């Protein structure tokens, strides 16, 4: 196993710098425990890049991303740019395209210590363990756009190749989990949905040990709240995956608990970021929830850096801190970002979080 890695940090906007800074502290403790050396470089993305560099992500930053072992990102977006010709989010889309990141993995787990924080009944949540896999390169986000005062359109396009490669990620993930893939589409009214459904069914033939079912996106949204335990791996397209994973944040009680990984072909740097947004309304107040970013770092060690030992250590550190009651306001607590971070570090340093 490798013992040194170079990480590109892209804190971004709003609370991004706070949660990335907290996560770096945890990563350093975990890496030291396992005898691993981490080096970092920090660059700008999103609104901060627009202000200071004139574009949401510079070519130099993209080159730094390609040369790194992995990218840890905070958040992008700020209302100052809502009506501008270029939005901060364009930087993230360009980063994903540059690195060839086509599969977004978003695990959603009901954490026992937080069952009471959700608005959903504990008996519905207990035992929930879902992996949402969202396609990242196609669909309405990347299609040809028309925008005017009286008419606007977003063209949604998918190719067979795009669907096949993300479907294989889902089926391979299911083989190591509970052996079930739910493919979510809108095949009853959308041509892209019908292509999606037929191609996924073809790929399923390569994985005889995995059970496939197809669910329309509106029904999937209902089942996520009414019966989330019916899902193992959810496979879906770009727009639907964005919406469903945000909805799924209500299962653990807050978007502040959901990590994600955006992956391309093996050997290319992955992008790891919390599912939540930049939350400019609470930026600088010291109350941002760092757990999702810390858990994203755990995914980074597992999926891009090949160090599942460090990933497991970070995850155990988070679990112990939560069980000990360290919670930010969004999950029903009164602790600040620094208190939560030091709790994870303290358990790790004590050998209870990182073993």
Residues marked as catalytic: 141, 186, 218, 242, 246
Is 96 within any annotated ligand binding site?
yes
148 is in an annotated binding site: no
Confirm whether residue 329 is marked as ligand binding.
no
Using alpha carbons only, give the angle 333, 338, 342 rounded to the nearest 5 degrees. 95
281 has binding-site annotation = yes
| Residue 242 assigned as binding residue | yes
**65 SS3 class:** helix
Nearest Cα to 38, choosing from 60, 69, 6? Answer: 6
The SS3 assignment for 285 reads coil
On whether 285 is known to bind a ligand per the annotation, the reply is yes
Q: Which among 322, 264, 263 is positioned nearest to 290, based on CA atoms?
A: 322
H helix or E strand, kind and range, residue 145? strand 145-147
Instruction: State yes or no: 280 annotated in a binding site.
Output: yes
278 is in an annotated binding site: yes
What is the residue whose two structure tokens read 């509970």? Answer: 178
Structure tokens at 210: 């995995």
Residue 13 among known ligand-binding residues: no
Enter the DSSP assignment of 85: S
- Tell me whether residue 129 is annotated as binding: no
Q: Is 205 annotated as a binding residue?
A: no
Taking the C-alpha atoms of residue 325 and residue 215, their distance in angstroms, rounded to an integer, is 38
Pairing of strands 180-185, 270-274: unpaired
Q: Answer yes or no: is 49 a known binding residue.
A: no
- Is 165 annotated to bind a ligand? Reply is no
Burial of 134 (C-beta count, 10 Å sphere; 0-12/13-18/19+):
buried
**Any binding-site annotation on 201?**
no
> CA separation (Å) from 167 to 127, 147, 200, 205, 238?
25, 32, 6, 11, 13
3-state secondary structure of 212: strand
Q: Confirm whether residue 279 is marked as ligand binding.
A: yes
For residue 269, give the DSSP letter: P
Cβ(64)–Cβ(98) below 8 Å: no
On whether 262 is known to bind a ligand per the annotation, the reply is no
Binding residues for Mg(2+): 218, 242, 246
Binding residues for substrate: 96, 106, 134, 218
Binding residues for NAD(+): 277-289
Binding residues: 96, 106, 134, 218, 242, 246, 277-289
């Amino acid at each position: 196993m490798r013992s040194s890695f170079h990480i590109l940090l892209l804190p971004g906007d709003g609370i991004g710098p706070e949660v990335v800074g907290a996560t770096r502290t945890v990563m350093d403790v975990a890496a030291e425990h396992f005898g691993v050396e981490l080096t970092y470089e920090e660059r700008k993305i999103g609104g901060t890049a627009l202000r200071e560099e004139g574009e949401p992500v510079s070519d130099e930053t993209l080159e730094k991303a390609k040369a790194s072992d992995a990218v840890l990102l905070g958040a992008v977006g700020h209302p100052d740019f809502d009506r501008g010709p270029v939005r901060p989010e364009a930087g993230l889309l360009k980063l994903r395209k540059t690195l060839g990141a086509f599969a977004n993995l978003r695990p959603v787990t009901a954490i026992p210590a937080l069952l009471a924080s959700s608005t959903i009944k504990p008996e519905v949540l207990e035992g929930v363990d879902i992996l949402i896999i969202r396609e990242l390169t196609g669909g309405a986000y990347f299609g040809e756009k028309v925008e005017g005062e009286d008419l606007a359109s977003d063209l949604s396009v998918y190719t067979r190749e795009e669907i096949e490669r993300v479907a294989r990620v889902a089926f391979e993930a299911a083989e190591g989990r509970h052996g079930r893939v739910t493919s979510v589409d809108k095949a009853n009214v959308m041509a892209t949905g019908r292509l999606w459904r037929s191609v996924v069914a073809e790929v399923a033939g390569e994985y005889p040990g995995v059970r496939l079912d197809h669910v329309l996106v509106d029904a999937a949204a209902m089942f996520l709240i009414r019966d989330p335990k019916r899902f193992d791996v959810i496979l879906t397209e770009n727009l639907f995956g964005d919406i469903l994973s945000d909805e799924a944040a209500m299962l653990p009680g807050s978007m502040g608990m959901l990590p994600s990984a955006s992956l391309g072909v093996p050997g290319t740097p992955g992008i790891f970021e919390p599912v939540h947004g930049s939350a400019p309304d609470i930026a600088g107040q010291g109350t941002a929830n760092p757990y999702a970013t810390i858990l994203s770092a755990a995914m980074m060690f597992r999926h891009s850096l090949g160090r599942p030992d460090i990933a497991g250590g970070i995850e155990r550190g988070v679990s112990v801190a939560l069980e000990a009651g360290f919670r930010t306001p969004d999950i029903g607590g009164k602790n600040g970002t620094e208190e939560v971070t030091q709790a994870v570090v303290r358990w790790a340093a004590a050998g209870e979080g990182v073993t």
